[in-house]
Structure 1
Amino acid sequence: MFASLWIVTTIVAAGAQSLRNALQRSLTVTLGTIGATHVRFLFGLPFALLFLAGVLVVTGERPVPSLAFWGWAGLGGVGQIAATACMLHAMRDRSFLVTIAYTKTEPVQVALFGLAFLGEVPSVIAMVSIAVATTGVMILSWPRGGGAGGGLLARSDGGEPAGWGAAVLGITAGGFFGLSAVFFKGAIRAAGTEHFVAAATTALAASLAIQTLVLTLWLLARDRAVLWAIAKAWRPSVGAGFLGAFASQMWFLGFALAPVAAVRTLGLIEILYAQVLSRGMLKERPTARELFGIALLIAGVIGVLQG
């Protein structure tokens, strides 16, 4: 009955995530990287709890999470914090569209991690696809002649070129996003209920609670001024929090219904949403070379997942 529902939830999740990324990017100016990262968790948690309450009332389910559930949710939550922080920091120095493309190296990195740590040898198709995706990343990263006047290494605010740091951060974010998706899938399976909506929503609420606690304690210990700045920026933060919780709810439903690889493959349509946002809200114009590099990257990632 729900065999194809994951397709709908993934498409919706990708769109909501693109909007949330755009809102969070604007918040980095006033809140910094960690502050903007905390917004999606702190202001997303109340919405996730509302989602959970509604689901439990409607379904009558009473999940009994195992001890492993909290381990999976914790690992996924910490991994996503790291991924989001890397992504937002990269967005301060690079095009919104190109930064999102870097994070989509996620499946390629998973394949390489499997070879390095698990001895899983990729198929010929997978190895070719990795080469294609890597070529796409190199094209996206290669500086255009002319210095600070433009090019892929130019800052999005028109300043001096940002160098390779933003590219490394974007690719690192992709790796953490990949790991967190796998951990979240583990949490959904250990949620203590067979109802996929209840399991997904329970895992989401738990992971957001852990993320909120971790970052709040971090800021209390390291930079309390950021917490005060977040409180003062509550109006735009509520929107980012809702979009973050809603997008995560849709992702988690997809994870509950289909393999993570399939969900992440379809989720690559976020690149198309990001392009629309770059041309509209953020007034950015990708070059033909950027579009070609993104096309190679997407083709390589899909090939790895199919290989």
Structure 2
Amino acid sequence: METWVLITVAAAFLQNIRSVLQKHLKGVMGTTGATFVRFGFGVPFAIAFVAFLALGLGYPLPRPNGGFFFWVTIAALAQIAAQALLIQMFGYRNFTVGTAYSRTEPAQAALFGLIFLGDRVSGGTIAAIAISLVGVVLISVARSATGTASLLRSVFSRTAALGLASGTMFGVAAVGYRAASLSLGGPNFMMQAAVTLLAAILLQTAVMLVWMRLRAPDELARIRAAWRISALVGLVGATASFGWFMAMTLQSAAAVKALAQVEMIFTFGSSVLVFREHVNRLEIAGCVLIVAGIVVLLLV
């Protein structure tokens, strides 16, 4: 099995754990604070990754260039914008619709990868993205009053627009991170990914700190009070991001994001095995389609 596949599956698993931890944080702080900890508390671990590769394994540090700083800035800001759009979408009654549309990220990443990086996507990869996307949509609407017919009718709704915009920003971020990492030109995919992660997370932390100081200063005290769980979120989040960046250095963002839909399986498994939640037919069908899409992706 290819290296990027193993890394992507591991990153998806860690991201699921991070999401569970962030949901816990929502009980003690606001959305802004819970979002910040994945960046701010990830900085020490991002530094540790670079230090280990440089001092422990002896890999030389790459020299960032103008292209690197351009792409990492675009990607880091796009990722923040994508999160903000998702948060705004949660305020709407039918946010499930928007969430489903936000999962169009792999398809949009394929388009942006072709436009900006010349990444070619095979017909098999496109088919895998389409199959998995249908599965994700089924799981997204399975536990709500929103049916697939309503999902299709809502194409021009504000919630759908927010979801699509969020997916667009996530797609831009994925392609931007791949472009930034590739622009370093060496010494290897691990160091390129680690340096890209460190630059991105430092910028995101600075932006979020300024935002909180101006718009939500009370969040800083709540973050300090919950520093232990926040540090765990930072560790898991930074490690997951390191995995994403390594995978996207080795493979196109579209293929990585298509395989990353396996996170939905992990989330579904947590709901069933940990929280003992009921399973319905749409959820089972969605899981089957996601697995089928991943199988197609791995076989092409």
Q: Which TM-score tier does this pair reach, normalised by the shorter chain? A: 0.7 to 0.9
Aligned partner of 1:26: which letter? H
| Structure 2 residue aligned with 1:198 | 191
Q: CA deviation at 1:175?
A: 2.7
Using the alignment, how far apart are the partners of 2:133 and 2:3 within structure 1? 32
Higher mean C-alpha displacement, 73-82 vs 212-221? 73-82
Using the alignment, how far apart are the partners of 2:294 and 2:165 within structure 1? 16
TM-score of the two chains, using structure 2 as the length reference: 0.77
Aligned partner of 2:186: which letter? T
Q: The residue matched to 1:59 in structure 2 has which SS?
A: coil
Using the alignment, how far apart are the partners of 1:73 and 1:100 within structure 2? 25
Q: CA deviation at 1:292?
A: 2.6
Q: CA deviation at 1:25?
A: 2.0
| Structure 2 residue aligned with 1:30 | 28
| Structure 2 residue aligned with 1:160 | none
Q: CA deviation at 1:300?
A: 7.0
Aligned partner of 2:210: which letter? L
Q: The residue matched to 2:19 in structure 1 has which SS?
A: helix
Aligned partner of 1:69: which letter? F
> CA 1:128–1:63 in structure 2 vs 1: closer, same or farther (change >3 Å)?
closer
CA contact (8 A) 2:128 2:293 kept: yes
| Structure 2 residue aligned with 1:251 | 244
Using the alignment, how far apart are the partners of 2:135 and 2:259 within structure 1? 19
Note the alpha carbon deviations across 1:5-43, whole angstroms, 9 max, x for none.
Answer: 212211111110111011112222332222111110001
Structure 1 residues not aligned, in runs of 5+: 145-149, 155-163
> CA 1:65–1:124 in structure 2 vs 1: closer, same or farther (change >3 Å)?
closer
> CA 1:85–1:302 in structure 2 vs 1: closer, same or farther (change >3 Å)?
farther
| Structure 2 residue aligned with 1:158 | none
TM-score of the two chains, using structure 1 as the length reference: 0.76
Note the alpha carbon deviations across 1:195-241, whole angstroms, 9 max, x for none.
Answer: 22111100000000010001001111111111111111111111111
> CA 1:46–1:281 in structure 2 vs 1: closer, same or farther (change >3 Å)?
farther
Give the counterpart of 2:44 among 43, 46, 52.
46
Q: How many residues are matched?
A: 286
CA contact (8 A) 2:105 2:168 kept: yes
Aligned partner of 1:261: which letter? A
> CA 1:52–1:126 in structure 2 vs 1: closer, same or farther (change >3 Å)?
closer
Equivalent residue runs for 1:92-241 within 5 Å:
103-110=102-109, 139=138, 151-152=144-145, 170-191=163-184, 193-241=186-234
Q: CA deviation at 1:290?
A: 3.3
Please provide the CA RMSD for this pair: 4.0
